[in-house]
């Protein structure tokens, strides 16, 4: 367990997350060539973007488990969707991580989606490691970037490396701990490699002719300021979310990636204890336990199966092990466990705390389920976000009804979209509820390509969803008296009120002050 690191990467769209992911895999020997997301012709697609719609549009839609080894360390990289519409899948993935890597675009700094995801990281109490990307392009001043991180996030940034120039004049990075300068030179195939220069200080004669004097003077000046104002790195403060180590570089050109990876291995935490109904379960517990944080249908188009992604929380898992499925109370035999790498799988014999393993799921598991060989426990659940967009989904071809229902059920189970149902006996079609419009496009595309069903949408005039605390005994009293709102039920039969807008919510709260509304589904 000491040699395992499980981490999620969070970023705003277009910050370069998929490129960074591929370069990390490249260093780990997991891929031989980094595939460009927006590649032309026959160049490889990104390893982590495996869905057809991801490859067509060059965006990450589904979180992916990518596992590789680097210098004896097992690295479990949980690649998350970069598009803002998929924050739900990102939340579930962060729940399975022990560390978070925040990727920033050097030209833009902190952006809206990154801030939203940082709130989730903070809630999960994960240590934060920051990589400032795209320094080979025109960027904000490094000191300005650090100031923004501290003022906005309330976390003190601790620079581990420092950029030498930016944009066309970007020369490489200076490692503050090792007192080494890493200069980068082009190699065959369009890549970059680092030339290390060990120096006594920044006045070392070795630097003469290697770095333009103007940039060298600027580097000396900035590092002098840093030495005066920057807090020394304290690993306990990092683990307590009070500090965030910071690296600079360029994922696209391989600047600074190795510096980041090697320091991250040393500073990040291994598997940690998890809160359950029986208290915190330590990772070295003798009993195996884990929880399902993701379901994915049709990863293998040839078999049309479903995979349950399980985070091992404690003990040792062994192939063919019999476990208690806490939610149902049934004993389940876990055969054919897989190590996952995007859509590829490799059968394994065992796994330990921190590992991510996959099981073919015939419908037994749901997101948030706990499995264990010990006494009955339940790990903290993974709540649903409040959706903001709502569409009836229609099946214009009655002969495809069986496939239509199967597709909706499977996509709901894996968390691609939330599904609501009308209370009227005359309305049998479901309502899709999403946090962003792109989710509807994804469902429409997958219904056609994976289930062979054409669908059409009819929008509903609602913008806000709220669950009712107290359930149906409370909700039943509201039937027939709502204005600009309507009651539906979710897939767990819980009452959900859809409101036309926030004004309608406020009006409801004034009129029914004794009714408590929840913006997160009750667990």
Judge contact between 169 and 215, C-beta under 8 A: yes
DSSP conformational letter for 285? -
Q: What global pTM score does this model have?
A: 0.80
Determine the pLDDT at residue 169: 86
Closest by CA to 358, choosing from 398, 312, 402, 309, is 309
Q: With contact defined as beta carbons under 8 Å apart, do 34 and 23 qualify?
A: yes
Burial 292-324 (b: 16+ CB within 10 A, else e): bbbbbbbbeeeeeebbbbbbbbbbbbeeebebb
First to last CA, the chain: 30
Domain 389-518 has CATH 2.60.40.10: no
pLDDT for the residue numbered 302: 60
Query: How far is 165 from 136, CA to CA, in rounded Å?
Result: 8
C-alpha distance from residue 416 to each of 48, 86, 363 (Å): 17, 8, 16
CATH assignment of 4-165+232-267, given 3.40.50.300, 3.90.70.10, 3.20.20.150, 1.10.3720.10? 3.40.50.300
Q: What angle do CA 207, 213, 215 make, to 5 degrees?
A: 95
Q: Do domains 4-165+232-267 and 389-518 have the same CATH topology?
A: no
Residue 516: enclosing H or E segment and its boundaries? Answer: none
Q: May I ask the CATH architecture of the domain 274-372?
A: 3-Layer(aba) Sandwich (3.40)
The token pair at 147 is 């100031």
Query: Cα–Cα distance between 382 and 352 in angstroms, integer?
Result: 22
Residue with tokens 């600027």: 218
Spatial contact of 284 and 274, defined as CB atoms under 8 Å apart: no
Q: How far apart are CA 475 and CA 44, in angstroms?
A: 53
pLDDT digits (tens, 9 = 90+) for 83-129: 565 667 777 888 899 999 999 999 999 988 788 788 889 988 999 99
Q: By the 8 A CB rule, do 313 and 373 touch? A: no
Residues facing 499 on adjacent strands:
464, 485
Lowest mean pLDDT among 335-339, 409-413, 509-513: 335-339
The DSSP H or E segment spanning 409 is: helix 401-413
Q: What is the pLDDT of residues 278-298, one digit of tens each?
A: 999 999 999 999 999 988 766
Q: How confident is the model at residue 43 (pLDDT cuts 50, 70, 90)?
A: very low
pLDDT digits (tens, 9 = 90+) for 48-82: 554 555 555 544 445 567 888 889 899 999 877 65
- Cα–Cα distance, 222 to 228 (Å, whole number): 10
pLDDT of 2:
56
Q: Could you state, in order of their start, the residue ranges of all structural domains in the chain?
A: 4-165+232-267, 274-372, 389-518
Q: Starting at the earlier edge strand, list the strands of the sheet with 180-186.
A: 161-164, 172-175, 180-186, 192-198
pLDDT of residue 40 exceeding 50, the answer is no
Each as own residue / partner, the long-range contacts of residues 224-228 (CB below 8 Å, 24 or more positions apart, any chain) are 225/143, 226/159, 226/162, 226/176
With a cut of 60, say whether residue 42 has pLDDT above it.
no
According to DSSP, the β-strands at 306-314 and 356-360 are: antiparallel
pLDDT digits (tens, 9 = 90+) for 300-355: 556 556 788 899 999 999 999 999 999 999 999 998 888 766 556 678 899 999 99
- Report the largest interatomic distance among the alpha carbons of the chain, rounded to a whole angstrom: 83
| pLDDT, position 197 | 76
CA dist., res. 268 & res. 3, Å (int) = 11
């Amino acid at each position: 367990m000491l040699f395992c690191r499980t981490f999620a990467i969070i970023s705003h769209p277009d910050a370069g997350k998929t490129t960074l992911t591929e370069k990390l895999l490249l260093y780990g020997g997991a891929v031989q060539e980094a595939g460009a997301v927006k590649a032309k012709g026959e160049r490889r697609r990104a390893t982590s973007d495996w869905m057809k719609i991801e490859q067509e549009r060059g965006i990450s839609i589904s979180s992916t488990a990518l596992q590789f080894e680097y210098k004896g360390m097992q690295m479990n990289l949980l690649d998350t969707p970069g598009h803002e519409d998929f924050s739900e899948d990102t939340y579930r993935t962060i729940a399975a991580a022990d560390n978070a890597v925040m990727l920033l675009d050097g030209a833009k700094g902190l952006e809206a989606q990154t801030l939203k995801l940082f709130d989730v990281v903070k809630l999960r109490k994960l240590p934060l490691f920051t990589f400032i990307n795209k320094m080979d392009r025109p960027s904000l001043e490094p000191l300005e970037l650090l100031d923004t991180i501290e003022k906005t996030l309330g976390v003190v940034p601790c620079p581990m490396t420092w950029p030498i120039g930016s944009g066309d004049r970007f020369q490489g990075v200076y490692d503050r701990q090792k007192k080494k300068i890493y200069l980068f030179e082009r190699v065959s195939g369009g890549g970059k490699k680092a030339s290390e220069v060990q120096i006594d200080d920044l006045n070392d004669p070795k630097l003469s002719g290697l770095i333009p004097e103007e940039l060298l003077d600027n580097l000396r000046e900035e590092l002098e300021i840093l030495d005066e104002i920057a807090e020394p790195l304290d690993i306990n403060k990092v683990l307590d979310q009070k500090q965030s180590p910071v690296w600079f570089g360029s994922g696209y050109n391989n600047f600074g990636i190795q510096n980041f990876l090697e320091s991250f291995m040393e500073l990040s935490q291994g598997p940690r204890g998890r809160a359950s109904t029986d208290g915190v379960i330590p990772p070295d517990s003798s009993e195996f336990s884990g929880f399902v944080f993701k379901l994915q249908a049709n990863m293998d188009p040839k078999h049309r199966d479903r995979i349950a992604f399980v985070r091992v929380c404690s003990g040792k898992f062994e192939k063919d092990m019999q476990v208690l499925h806490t939610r149902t109370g049934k004993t389940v035999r876990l055969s054919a466990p897989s190590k996952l790498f995007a859509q590829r799988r490799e059968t394994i014999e065992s796994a330990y705390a921190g590992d991510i393993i996959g099981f073919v799921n015939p419908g037994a598991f749901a997101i948030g389920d706990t499995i264990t060989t010990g006494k009955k426990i339940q790990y903290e659940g993974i709540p649903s976000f409040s959706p903001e967009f709502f569409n009836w989904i229609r099946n214009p071809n009655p002969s495809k009804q069986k496939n239509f229902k199967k597709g909706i059920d499977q996509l709901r189970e894996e968390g691609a979209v939330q599904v609501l149902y009308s209370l009227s006996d005359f309305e049998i079609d479901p309502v899709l509820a999403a946090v962003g419009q792109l989710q509807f496009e994804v469902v429409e595309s997958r219904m056609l390509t994976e289930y062979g069903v054409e669908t059409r949408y009819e929008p509903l005039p609602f913008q806000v969803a709220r669950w009712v605390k107290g359930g149906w005994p409370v909700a039943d009293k509201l039937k027939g008296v709502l204005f600009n709102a309507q009651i539906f039920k979710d897939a767990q039969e819980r009452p959900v009120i859809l409101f036309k807008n926030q004004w309608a919510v406020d009006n409801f709260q004034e009129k029914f002050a004794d009714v408590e509304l929840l913006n997160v589904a009750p667990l």
